Amino acid sequence: MIDWINQTSRKLPEWPLYFIGFIPAAWLLWLGVNGGLGVEPIKTLEQNLGRIALQFLFASLMVTPLRRYAGLNLLKFRRPLGLLGFGYICLHLATWLALDMVFLWGQIIEDLTERPFIIIGMTGFLLLLPLALTSTRKWIRRLGPRWQKLHQLVYLAVPLGGLHFLMQERVWTVQLIVYLVLAFGLVAIRMIWMRRRVAR
């Protein structure tokens, strides 16, 4: 079964994943237009976009462990998954700026300097920004070995995203804690690998 999945994934192009990946965003937009997001539609939209962003980032970080421990080779989809995660973060941020804050820049700046969970979320976004900008094959060739070092910033950004997701809620639910554990756990696995590599 694993061999069949690996052979099939090698034949599949990357571009359909981008189309499929933004179907949830289109569905949320449709719900919002038709009053299907509840009594607080903006907050619901904002939270769902952020949750989906984390899910795609988790999926991109799970590609290597799946290959290492299960023999499942989905490396060609790691970049699209990461870019989809960043795309949803941009939608999450745009929703906050345009619909939640209505571009009230004084209040936005105040939140960015005084509210810890917003500061943490914006820090994670800024860490991911250079990764998204240098995700093309041209930049990979241009940066060479420095590209991998730069993209290790994701190991800081994802835990920050998990913290941002947790801290924005007053009540910590099981789902929030699971997301935080995943965010730190997926990065911790890589830290262990890196330490073993250095030791060898």
Distance CA 161, CA 69 (A): 26
Q: Please give the structure tokens belonging to residue 75.
A: 């490396």
pLDDT at 173: 87
Give the C-alpha distances (Å, rounded to integers) separating 14 from 78, 114, 198. Answer: 10, 41, 33
pLDDT at 12: 81
Domain span including residue 75:
2-199
Q: Please give the structure tokens belonging to residue 3.
A: 């061999």
Return the minimum-mean-pLDDT range out of 12-16, 31-35, 46-50, 60-64: 12-16
Confidence of residue 11 (pLDDT cuts 50, 70, 90): confident
Q: Please give the structure tokens belonging to residue 38.
A: 């509840």
pLDDT at residue 193 is higher than 80:
yes
Q: Which of 164, 112, 123 is nearest to 104 (CA)?
A: 112
* Number of domains the chain is built from: 1
pLDDT at 7: 76
Confidence of residue 162 (pLDDT cuts 50, 70, 90): very high
pLDDT tens column, 56-109: 999 999 999 998 888 888 888 999 999 999 999 999 999 999 999 999 999 999
User: Over pLDDT 90: what percentage of the chain?
Assistant: 68
Q: Are 99 and 45 in contact (CB under 8 A)?
A: yes
Distance CA 54, CA 60 (A): 10
Confidence of residue 180 (pLDDT cuts 50, 70, 90): very high
Confidence of residue 8 (pLDDT cuts 50, 70, 90): confident
Q: Which of 53, 76, 75 is nearest to 64 (CA)?
A: 75
pTM of structure = 0.94
